Amino acid sequence: MDSHNKNVENKEVENKVLETENSILQLEIQRLKKELEFMNKIFEYSSSVVYHMKRFTVQGEPIWIDTHLVSVQDLQKLDQDETVQQLIRDKKSSRYNDSDW
């Protein structure tokens, strides 16, 4: 009888482990689906060159930005990091302005 109780207990532990692993895998699948959806959004920018597109975030949500066409105002709306700050500096200190022509 003692052996039977241990077997039942082991099965219960195994089931809990499997349930936990299943939950972790389900979360990973959701994360990967969300990432795939985001990656596919780059195709919505058909007028932009892919190597000008960079991944940034607004309030923690990822977005694509065309670093060549983006305005300083749009850059200021992004979650700020060193890359964003550098882009703002570069945009503000460009040697020429398209409207000068």
d(CA 76, CA 89): 11
Q: Which residue shows structure tokens 């207990």? A: 9
pLDDT above 60 (res 101): no
Can you count the helices (H) and strands (E) in the chain?
3, 2
pLDDT above 70 (res 99): no
Whether the predicted model's global pTM rises above the 0.95 cut: no
Tens-digit pLDDT profile for residues 3-32: 778 888 889 999 999 999 999 999 999 999
Q: Report the percentage of the chain scoring pLDDT > 70.
A: 91
Tens-digit pLDDT profile for residues 33-71: 999 999 999 999 989 999 999 999 999 999 999 999 999
